[in-house]
Structure 1
């Protein structure tokens, strides 16, 4: 039997305490439910150092618990190595994308395909809005969009 190729995806947002974590957790649950988690290396990171070392936002954790998806993570930022070891870096909005493109241009041997997670949204909502200044319903909207995008991404990346 041929060994499946390991793929890697890194989800990125500004602080790595809200939306990228929701995307990471949603994708992790999806690949686990589809019994393909052994084929993926999954993580998330920030485009800034604002929240380095912080745990996930409590509203995001509550949202994910409601969906039966636990989330544990300590915020960290995208490193130069991520661009050389990740197949995909999927970010949440145009600001994240600009930051990541600027960083990737400084990396030799960059192999990561860096793009918006929203590019995979069947409902064509390209930007995933930052829920940080919102309420529980904003986190739910982010979860629903991330879940849709992750399903479509997984189908395309298979």
Structure 2
């Protein structure tokens, strides 16, 4: 079976989505399913193309043992062909991704990350921490731990294969 390919997307690909990529990669490695899952991240905007993630996000992630080394890149149309599931961090990301899709089949691959919250069901997105303080970056990582854990559970149970395929 081919790897299940997941793309995390936020606005600039410098805070939330590279953190999501790192959290997901850590979880699949810990569970021994790295051979079944491929993870990447991208941004709606290409403004930060080639940049490392925001320094504040790298610092907070490092405190949790995560190294964010991904270089920012914008979403491309080939991502809709390559990935099985494209996860937006908020409604604006999801709307933008759906607008980029060329077909209903491609649009069906797009979901909002809040769909995977188990312990934060009242939360409707992963808020952008860029203009806030330290607590925003910690909140992002907490939410990502929750959502990515659920995604890994669904991959292991086979239920995630029904999404985006």
TM-score (norm. length: structure 2): 0.88
Distance 1:150 1:9 in 2: 11
State yes or no: 1:147 paired with 2:145: yes
Distance 1:112 1:72 in 2: 29
Aligned length: 154
Structure 2 unpaired stretches of 5+? 157-165
Equivalence for 1:52: 49
Distance 2:25 2:37 in 1: 9
Instruction: Please list, as runs of the form range in 1=range in 2, the aligned pairs for 1:52-91 lying within 5 A after superposition.
Output: 52-91=49-88
1:32, distance to aligned residue in structure 2 (A): 0.6
Distance 1:55 1:142 in 2: 18
Tell me which stretches of 4 or more aligned residues in structure 1 moved more than 3 Å.
none
Whether the 8 Å contact between 1:87 and 1:112 is mirrored in structure 2 is no
Distance of aligned partners of 1:29 and 1:91 in 2 relative to their CA distance in 1, 3 Å threshold: same
Structure 1 unpaired stretches of 5+? none
CA RMSD of superposed structures (Å): 1.5
Distance 1:79 1:8 in 2: 15
TM-score (norm. length: structure 1): 0.92
Distance 2:61 2:67 in 1: 6
Equivalence for 1:116: 112
